[in-house]
Amino acid sequence: MDKFTTLTGIAAPMPLVNIDTDMIIPKQFLKTIHRSGLGKNLFDEMRYKDDGSEVEDFILNQPAYRASQIIVAGDNFGCGSSREHAPWALLDYGIRCVISTSFADIFYNNCFKNGILPIVMPQDVVDALMEDARKGANARITVDLENQTVTTSDGQSFGFEIDPFKKHCLLNGLDDIGLTMEKSASIDTFEAQMAQSRPWV
């Protein structure tokens, strides 16, 4: 998993509330067990018409926001069914951070396990970031995980809270496998001891 330290990027304003996981990645794309390739179907039913052509006014189809790495979203982002494909699709598209007033718990935790930083902010701060994001591609937001700040294009900075363990994992690029591998020396020692004391196992 890639480390998350500091990100400066284009933020896409998505003020819609209750963006659920089926909107993020519709159910017909859940057949794969691979994390790559889902970005093209991110927000599929909002991005594309029935004939496959783009919905021109959808935010990620607008030229200024095609390279977005941050989403500033409405309340209750990632609600609905618990599908890990949702953060997979966001990450594959290039989204590394989502800012909202609240997230569904399972989606929130899945983000951390996949290298995405979900940030909870008060409504007034989200409103300020949303307004800044509406300036387009020239208005880049900076997210500093080490110092726990989000800074607008005009230099206005806001602090955010994050669980220290989740912060450690993101800063060091540790998913569940990575966390296990940090204990590889202890695991090897245990297995060697078991091989000697219980060779029949």
The per-residue pLDDT for range 26-83, each reduced to its tens digit, is: 999 988 877 789 999 999 999 999 999 999 999 999 999 999 999 999 999 999 988 8
pLDDT of residue 33: 78
End-to-end CA distance of the chain: 34
> In whole numbers, what is the pLDDT of the chain averaged over residues?
92
pLDDT of residue 25: 96
Asked if 42 and 24 count as a contact pair (C-beta separation under 8 A), the reply is yes
Q: Is CATH 3.20.19.10 what the domain over 6-173 is classified as, yes or no? A: yes
Sheet of 70-73, strands arranged across: 117-120, 97-100, 70-73, 6-14, 140-144, 149-151, 157-159
Asked if 43 and 60 count as a contact pair (C-beta separation under 8 A), the reply is yes
Please tell me the pTM assigned to this model.
Answer: 0.88
| CB count in 10 Å sphere of residue 184 | 9
CA distance 177 to 3: 14
Residue 159 DSSP SS3 = strand
Asked if pLDDT for residue 7 goes beyond 80, the answer is yes
- 3-state helix, strand, coil split of the chain in percent (to 5) is 40, 20, 40
Structure tokens at 83: 């599908």
Asked if 156 and 127 count as a contact pair (C-beta separation under 8 A), the reply is no
Domain spans in the chain, listed from the N-terminal domain onward: 6-173
